[in-house]
Each structure stands twice: as structure tokens, then as C-alpha cells.
Amino acid sequence: MKPKEHVWAHATNTEEKLTVALNDAQVTAVEADVIVGSDGEPVMGHPPSTVGTMTVRRFLALVTAQFQIRIVKLDFKSNAAFLAASPTIQTHLAAFNPHKQQLWINADIVAGPGGCTPAFDAPVFVAMAAALAFPKSKPESTHSQIVLSLGWTTGSSQLNDHGFPITLPASNSDYSVQMVSQMLDAIGIAMPSITAHRIPITFAVRAPSVLSSWPALQTLLQLSSECASEFPLVSLTLWWNKAALPSAIYARIIKMLEEEGSGLENRTFYDLQ
């Protein structure tokens, strides 16, 4: 299955929303947010809430049982949530089949256009997330158990029910060369392990900024053009509210990134809601 063909279900933070997504035969990728509950248990929910009705353990059990789900994305807004969920993730990965699904560990670790200071020590987060790729209980594994999904904090905007913006970003919305360099610095320490173990990386970028930011962003895809199974080792994930993305801009994005022979085709996921 090509990256552009995936159909996403976003913010599946309750069992009811997750069930709807899992019962939709078109959905192949699900995303949910992880927070620390009031009792310290990692649960699904979006900050600033500290209340969730579904634990991370329950969420992973439900999505793993669904054959059509190829991507499971856990979105972390705080280091505390990542640390709280890591033991559960490790237990889950011990019985996980990376040939069937990819588990994405997502966080915004570098300040982006209009963005606030990240809640993570970027190099430390990357190293800890990469360490989850090969559980000690499965030393014979040759396929990474996870995908590092790394993004930038960006300026606030009015959001829809999925947590996606409903308007285009401000004019000063480009990803700069410096922002990309900071991301490359963040993964630099862990890069030998990432390369040796073929851990896929996807860089989360807001879709309306791709065209104007391409001189800076294209450096990311130059890290590797290889694939691991059906997934590119280095990719982009474009996110935005599709209804707020003018069709002309979307068409230009697809032409640039998916034109046959460009060398860029099949290297971008489209998480557009």
C-alpha cells in the first residue's frame, strides 16, 4: 500500500470514536493522543484534559486486532505522557508484528513557524523513542517495531473537532533552513542507531506550508530514499484540515510530491481531515 493511499482517522481518543474508525473499511491509519490521567495512568485524551476513558493498553489491544489498520499513531504532547506510556508500549511491542502494522511515536520536538518552545528535550526524546524499536525480548527481530514521527510546534489557530486548523496559516508560516537544521541536530546523536537498525522516520509538516518551504524541507528527504517493507525509511507526513486547504494548493502539492519520475513519489503520507 502506497503512503498516499492511507485513509486516516484522527483523534480517536474514546472507545466510541475508535470503534467507529475500526468499523470503517476504508480507514487504514488511526491516530490518538496520550495524556497522563489524574491517577498517573497513561490514557487517551488531548491536553489540557487529565481525564480519559480509555487506557493506552486498551487502545493498543483494540487496534492491533484489526487487520486493515496498517498505521497506529500515538501523539505525545508531553514528556511525562511518553514516559508513563513507555512501559505499556514495550509490553505491547513484545507481541507486535511489524510486518502487519507500524506503530508511530509522534511528538513536536523543535520550534516551528509561530510555534512555542517544545515540551521535549529533542535529542533525549529521539534516543528514548528509538530505543523502543527493538525490544530486548525479541533480539532476533530485523524489522523496526516503530516509526519516529517528528514534528515542529506551530502557531495556534482555530481548530475543528479533530484538532485541525480551519483556516490557512499566517503569511509567515514557512519552515526555515534553521528549523530544519535544528531537527537534523535533534536526531543526530541517535542517527547511528537509527541507520543501523533501519528505523523509519517521518517528518510531520503542515500541508499549506510545503510549497513555500520546499527549499528547506527537501533536505529531510535526502537522508535516505530506501524503503523498509512497504514504508519509506524517510518520509513526510502532511497534516491539515483538507476543507481549509484550497484545491489549487493541494493539486500543486500532489504534482510536486507524487509526479512519476520525480524521485519524490510514494514518500509522503497525507493526514488530511
Which of 97, 199, 191 has the alpha carbon at shortest distance from 138? 97
pLDDT of 68-111, one tens digit each?
999 999 999 999 999 999 999 998 887 766 667 899 999 999 99
Sequence-distant (6+) residues with CB within 8 A of 273 are 8, 10, 160, 162, 164, 240, 241, 242
CB atoms within 10 A of CB 263: 9
The predicted pLDDT at position 163 comes to 54
Sequence-distant (6+) residues with CB within 8 A of 181 are none
The span from the CA of 111 to the CA of 179, in Å, is 7
Terminal Cα distance for the chain, rounded: 20
To the nearest 10°, report the CA torsion of 229, 96, 140, 203. Answer: 50
pLDDT of 112-148, one tens digit each?
999 999 999 999 999 999 999 876 655 555 568 799 9
Domains of the chain: 3-272 (3.20.20)
The predicted pLDDT at position 237 comes to 98
Long-range contacts of 48-55 (CB under 8 A, 24+ apart): 52/13, 53/14, 53/15, 54/13, 54/14, 54/15, 54/18, 55/88
The predicted pLDDT at position 137 comes to 55
CA distances from 173 to 27, 30, 56, 115, 271 (A): 30, 27, 34, 10, 19
pLDDT, block means (10 residues), the chain with 273 residues:
93 96 96 93 88 93 90 96 95 74 95 94 96 68 82 74 55 88 95 88 96 96 73 91 90 94 91 87
pTM: 0.91
The span from the CA of 17 to the CA of 11, in Å, is 8
Residue 261 identity (one-letter amino acid): G
The predicted pLDDT at position 261 comes to 82
The predicted pLDDT at position 158 comes to 52
The predicted pLDDT at position 38 comes to 85
